[in-house]
Amino acid sequence: MSEHRLTQKQNALMIDPRRTRVLNSCSDKPGAVIYWMSRDQRLNHNWALLFAREKAARKGQPLVVVFALAPSFLDAPFRHYDFMLKGLEETSKALERINIPFMLLEGEPDTEISRYACQSEAGAVVTDFSPLNISRNWKKKAADILDIPLYEVDAHNIVPCWYASDKQEYAARTLRPKLQARLDEFLVPFPTILPLPAPHVHHRSPDWKQVRERLQKDRSVPPVNRIAPGETAAAESLENFIKSRLSGYATARNDPNSNALSQLSPYLHFGQISAQHVALRVAESRAPQKDKTAFLEELIIRRELSDNFCNYNPSYDRFEGIPAWAKQTLLLHGQDKREYLYTIDVFEKAATHDKLWNAAQSELVQSGKIHGYMRMYWAKKILEWSSSPPEAFEMAIYLNDRYALDGRDPNGYAGVAWSIGGLHDRPWFERPVYGNIRYMNASGCRRKFDVERYISRFREPATLFPNA
């Protein structure tokens, strides 16, 4: 990791222009700057918010942060909205303490943002980057409607996704050198966001209780109360990981019983913590270098590889998006005899013959996450026990998105595509059902960790909704 750093003064005066782009051909006008907060839901360490604040200060105009609450986001149930809204409530209060009003709009984001910008006679709109199709479609529609510029800032990746590569990368080994060559330039500390003058913008703070009560969401998937949402909880989780679990991470991370993982994935998904800030804190810690290197490989290379996949492959959430060699081998073995065949209902209820798989599904439903090693096993067995590879892919995406707090995320889509569809992998020895896709079995898990101990932690039959 490079020791190169920009000074606070230099950084405060400059947001790297390679991190920003304009999504339409309009020019700035007089009027407030709107930060359309979407993927990066935090006050601190947020390049998009810093860019918007800098623009407002230079124009001598107010800055308003606006979040558009979509009536549906890829069928997310109440669990996900609850976690997100509690985090946004904390962020809104933190923003208002530094004289930046926060507004919550309810409705289709492209429509609501465009309407608000017009009504408030705004001069520019700034938003954050997401490679997901739904977000890109919202921005395209808004950019077409607005008569002011819509700036997009990659506040999620350390090296901006579109700058790191202009194509879908084959594997980590092809993206890694491109990212490492740019870390000196982009992995820099953040300036502190400074207060603005008291705004002359009429706004009404959201009634968060009423917002949650109005949500018409599937409440059969309840909140995960053991994980506190929000920027403060995310920061505490990071410091706890660095202090207690980062040392030893390289050897313990593949043991689901070790409690070695950072537990940051929900916070990274909802943008309640910055991956760049996490990388800087880990890099400057006193943990052994091998542990820091193992963690940063996942945080930077693997995570940004997932954004690259979704950014350049619009079929990222479908079987059609996997590599051609994988499609060919899976379809060739599509009619192979399966020892077990299960429906989505059996999978969802963790009612298969395999106690280890059932424990992984129970962990997902109960805690809103699966240990990374077990998520690979979980997905590969869905392939093995489904009537066809396309059906397996669809069911794995459905279950992950429905229950995982970090669902609907490039990491999740890339993870399923790797496990089932050979993404970012290579052909392996051919076998029934899997073809040349990498194989996993329970015996391999037993060589890695104490399987019975893991099963005992999520033993079925158990209530799948202990927090209901």
Q: What is the CATH number of the domain that holds 395?
A: 1.10.579.10
- Residue 379 in any domain: the answer is yes
Note the pTM of the prediction, 2 decimals. 0.94
What residue numbers bound the domain in which 411 lies? 319-457
- Residue 421 in any domain: the answer is yes
- Residue 435 in any domain: the answer is yes
- Residue 160 in any domain: the answer is no
Tell me if the bond preceding 256 is cis, omega within 30° of 0. Answer: no
Query: Tens-digit pLDDT profile for the chain (468 aa)?
Result: 443 333 333 344 479 999 999 999 999 999 999 999 999 999 999 999 999 999 999 999 999 999 999 988 878 999 999 999 999 999 999 999 999 999 999 999 999 999 999 999 999 999 999 999 999 999 999 999 999 999 999 999 999 999 999 999 999 999 999 999 999 999 999 999 999 887 766 777 899 999 988 888 889 999 999 999 999 999 999 999 999 999 999 999 999 999 999 999 999 999 999 999 999 999 999 999 999 999 999 999 999 999 999 999 999 999 999 999 999 999 999 999 999 999 999 999 999 999 999 999 999 999 999 999 999 999 999 999 999 999 999 999 999 999 999 999 999 999 999 999 999 999 999 999 999 999 999 999 999 999 999 999 997 544 544 443
Taking a C-beta distance cutoff of 8 angstroms, is the pair 369, 402 a contact? no
Q: How far is CA 450 from the centre of its chain?
A: 30
Give the SS3 label for residue 217: coil
CA distance linking residue 467 with residue 139, whole number of Å? 36
One-letter identity of residue 445: C
Degrees, nearest 5: CA angle 405-19-127: 55
Task: Give the residue among 3, 95, 115 at the shortest CA–CA distance from 50.
Answer: 95
The residues, ordered by sequence, that sit 6+ positions from 431 with a Cβ below 8 Å of its Cβ are: 439
- Residue 423 in any domain: the answer is yes
- Residue 153 in any domain: the answer is no
Give the SS3 label for residue 106: strand
- Residue 326 in any domain: the answer is yes
- Residue 367 in any domain: the answer is yes
Strand (E) or helix (H) holding 103: strand 102-106
Number of structural domains, the chain? 1
